[in-house]
Amino acid sequence: MSARFEPRRLRAMLLKESLQIVRDPSTFLIAFVLPLILLFLFGYAISLDPQRTRIGLVLEDPGTPAASLAQAFENSRWFEVTGTRDLPALKRDLTAGRVRGIIVIPQDFSRRLQIPGERAQIQIITDGATPNAAGFVAGYAEGVRASWAAAQAASGNAALPLELVARYWFNPDLASHYFLIPGSVVIVMTMIGTLLTALVVAREWERGTMEAIMATPVTMAELLATKVIPYFLLGLVSMALCTSIAIFVFGVPFRGSLLGLLAISSAFLVPALGQGLLISAASKNQFVASQIALISGFLPAMVLSGFMFEIPSMPAPIRLITYLVPARYLVPSLQSVFLVGDLWGLFLRDIGIMLAFGALFFALALRATHRKVA
């Protein structure tokens, strides 16, 4: 079989594939509805920013200092306080998840405060079953107490001898949707490249139409090209949709160039499509292909690409696995093209790695296809 392209044949095949895409409502679902849902959820529902957390406050001490500390908790912008004297009821609320923490100001708090050398303790109880919220409650509640103590001391000499001043480049307002929304582009392109392609081609194998096409004069290279080009374009269209919504609806800054965005997302689609072809050629069955695509494509893009979860924080064996995930190389470049600008040094390195993965996947897919026919 020669690998030459015959323009007329290629055009006819491309037309056939494109019509198939346009006529199938599920393609529309994955290329346009899914991105909208994802962007919407990442824009509104998921937020890693600290927000008001519901806590219970038990004020056992009638003294003035205790009341002013309780007031400090009420006024804090981090907490929504349910005040009560009933600790057992609050403990039940904590178990049921209706509050995330309990602050107890004990009976002898005001009295002990007046005695030098005594420790006037308040109790901070958190719901450790949700470790993030627990850490947040503990940290901010201790912060409320410390700044209350500093304000009470008010002896003027409160300037700290050494302080750290933090400046956040690229995202001074620390808005988490600035990096979550570009991250969702990774998910969308993985879905189109890997999942959709794997399903479509597996269906051809399952129904036997793949063998039918192979029996025609179409060459192997033409066949792969016609499977790949329409989904490549679909992936780019969907990416453009996501980017426009990110910029115009959610106000995510775009500081790089369109060329940079196009280059890195095109480079990512190569391994994504190669993986989809490989899965379908190896499985030839839609159920199997969909499950493998989900586990080898979607989950790694979501969990191991570094877009929500920090790769350096993962245990060493998992960190090693992330090097095999093409999406890992897209996330830094994609976040940079939005928030920083064109960093061609970073882009070219990541593009090179992604294309290498793409070449590997296509070579394997070609071999798997040959073997099936033989």
Residues 10-69 that bind other proteins (CB under 8 A): 24-26, 29-30, 33-34, 37-38, 41, 44-49, 51, 53-54, 65, 69
Chain centroid to Cα 342, Å, comes to: 22
Which amino acid does the sequence have at 164?
L
Candidates 87-95, 214-222, 228-236, 365-373: pick the segment binding other proteins (CB under 8 A). 87-95
Q: Which two tokens stand for residue 165?
A: 């001043």
Measured between alpha carbons, how far is 210 from 212 in angstroms, rounded to an integer?
5
Structure tokens that stand for 304 in this block: 């191991």
- Near other proteins in 152-191, by CB under 8 A: 152-155, 157-172, 174-176, 178-179, 191
Q: Which amino acid is at 75?
A: N
Nearer to other proteins by Cβ, of 92 and 371: the residue is: 92
Residue entry with tokens 């494109």: 18
The reply on whether position 374 binds other proteins by CB under 8 A is no
CB of 14 to other proteins, least distance (A): 20
Does 372 sit near other proteins (CB under 8 A)? no
Among 22, 149, 237, 320, binds other proteins (CB under 8 A): 149
Q: Build a one-symbol-per-residue string for 268-307: x at contacts with other proteins by CB under 8 A, - elsewhere.
A: ---------------x-xxxx-xxx-xx--xx---xx---
What secondary structure does DSSP assign to 30-91, as a single string? IIIIHHHHHHHIIIII---S---EEEEEEE---SHHHHHHHHHHHH-TTEEEEEES-HHHHH
Label residue 168 exposed, middle or buried (CB < 10 Å: 0-12, 13-18, 19+).
Answer: exposed
User: Considering only 137-145, 226-234, 272-280, 362-370, which stretch makes contact with other proteins by CB under 8 A?
Assistant: 137-145
From 198-206, 213-221, 239-247, 266-274, span contacting other proteins (CB under 8 A): 198-206
Q: Are 262 and 353 in contact (CB under 8 A)?
A: no
Alpha-carbon distance of 212 to 105, in angstroms, equals 78
Cβ neighbours, 10 Å, residue 24: 13
CB of 88 to other proteins, least distance (A): 13
Choose between 10 and 120: whose C-beta lies nearer to other proteins.
Answer: 120
Number of residues lying near other proteins (CB under 8 A): 121
